[in-house]
Amino acid sequence: MKGLSLAIGRKLLAPVAIGALLLSAAATTAKADSDGIVNTGKVPVTGNLVTCSTVTAPAAWVPSAFSFDISWVDPFLRAYFLADRSHGGAGGTAGGDVLMLDLNNLTSGGVTILTPPSTDPMAGIACDQNANFGGTTGVGRNELTGPNGAFTVNHAEVWVGDGIPNFQPGQSNAASGGKASDYASDPCDSSVRVFNLISRQQTDHIDIGGCFRTDEGAFDPVDQVALFANPSEQPLAGNPNAKALNQSPFITLISTIPVAPGKHHKILKQINFDGTHGTFSANGGIEQAVYSEKTGLFYIAVPGNSAAPNNGVVAVVDPRGDADDIHVVKNFPVTNCSPNGAALGPDYELFLGCSGAFPEQVIDIRNGHLIKAVAETNGGCDEVAFNGGDDHFVGACTGTTGAAGTDALDVVDADPVSYDLSIDTKTKGAHSVAVDPVTVQNFMPAAAGTGANAGGLCGATPCILLFGSTGGDDKSVWQQEAMEDHHHDHP
């Protein structure tokens, strides 16, 4: 996922605090039915915001601020998780953490910060704004940052993809097109971190061997397999740490059952997405993945590549069996959609958040057939989710009709598939969204309002925005079915 940083002023290095829930209201850009989904509140994010200005770096490197990537809700744990690149970091150095919010206690007492050992920090923000390597004044070099993707495993652990810790590349001249020599000393050690949610400690640090960040992933609870993608891999001539694996974007499948209690987790298979062995040439990246228990397969959003930038695929991966059995089964082509987000809904529906002519599309995971292209929005969407509490898809989307081109929470009914509304966040950088089907809430981390939008939904402090329904659609049967399944899994 294309993680972004959100500019705010430099803060004093103090313990993390999440402000009390502040209720607010928001106008919507459009409304198609009576669901009544509105901005119902916000949880301000404050304290110990590590910026690039706290890291030893050339003066030309521009300080950044609150930076995050993927968010995730575990409805059984009653917890929200955010891959947070700006908190943590011992002594104010660059680092990252997992921000965990108690959904039953949306106050300063309801937050926990999960950090790795001080001797083993996460990548945090790579403080370099060279646009030729994915850098901006807000993000730095995005392909090196971390943490990125996050999800829970067995309601007991949170797994996160990380970047390249302790590596700051040299800053080449942006006008020159960038220099591969910046990465001559890249250790190629992007990784997956595992945190135990009882002890709140890191229990494993799995070296994936990527020269760029390990990003999003998904969990297969049937076969106990986690999948992560390295979307930014490219040839690094002259780097002794680079291998054949690093020549193109790749995925990694890992057993979530440790080789022994408290020990390391085994890498089951790594697959290059280079156009061979049934794969799509993914030089445009690899994005959000989901797992379907109905089919036993992973479905991965793969944006268009250099040959067809507007048309991507959904790659279908079978995780079952040994390494020889694990493979890409097929690729579902999508038209006028370079997919970033993917979320499973009812009746074999897969909701895609796209860049392209139709930012939101729904396909059938059994055959890849297009069910619906949503034409009412423009621009593009990044992370998406399905809220089973009210049968809605939601997306973190850009290019809305909001003021000054700010970003939005897009809402699409799942049954039947139809556009509902877009809610303007009055900020830019909306790319992360998560849902709680129990309370039927949607969560979107967002920037502090600036300029004409200073009085926007977050106000002067970055926050996690909350969106809920005032009523309209009948509630789904998700809670009853999910709780019955949970009871069977955990007698």
Q: Smallest Cα–Cα separation from 103: which of 94, 95, 112?
A: 112
Q: What is the pLDDT of residues 420-454, one digit of tens each?
A: 988 888 877 778 999 999 999 999 998 776 555 55
pLDDT of residue 15: 39
Q: Strand 97-102 to strand 111-114: parallel, antiparallel, or no bridges (unpaired)?
A: antiparallel
In our burial notation (b when 16+ CB lie closer than 10 A, e otherwise), range 387-416 reads bbbbbbbbbbbbbbebeeebbbbbbbbbee
- Which residue numbers in the chain have pLDDT < 50? 3-32, 34, 54-64, 89-93, 133-139, 174-177, 474, 479-480, 483, 486-488, 490-491
Say if residues 233 and 250 touch (Cβ distance below 8 Å). Answer: yes
- Any idea of the CA torsion for 171, 239, 190, 261, to the nearest 10 degrees? -150
The CA-based dihedral angle spanning residues 87, 90, 92, 98, taken in that order and rounded to the nearest 10 degrees:
-10
Domains of the chain: 50-168+190-284 (2.40.128.630)
Pull the structure tokens for residue 236: 């690094």
**Count helices and strands in the chain by DSSP H and E runs:** 1, 33
Tell the burial category of 161 from Cβ atoms under 10 Å away from its Cβ (0-12, 13-18, 19+). Answer: buried
Token output for 41 = 């509140």
Non-local CB neighbours of 263 within 8 Å, separated by 6+ positions: none
**Alpha-carbon span 372 to 76, nearest angstrom:** 31
Say what the pLDDT of residue 433 is. 97
Q: What gap in Å lies between CA 364 and CA 226, rounded to an integer?
A: 23
Q: ω before 416 within 30° of 0 (cis)?
A: yes
Residue 23 has a pLDDT of: 37
What are the C-alpha distances in Å from 38 to residues 23, 285, 351, 408, 420? 11, 33, 22, 12, 12
Structure confidence at residue 33 (pLDDT): 52
Q: Which residues contact 432 (CB under 8 A, 6 or more apart)?
A: 1, 68, 69, 70, 71, 82, 382, 383, 396, 444, 445
How many whole angstroms separate alpha carbon 112 and alpha carbon 100?
A: 5
Q: 157: helix, coil or strand?
A: strand
pLDDT digit string (tens) for 343-388? 999 999 999 999 877 889 999 999 999 999 998 877 789 999 999 9
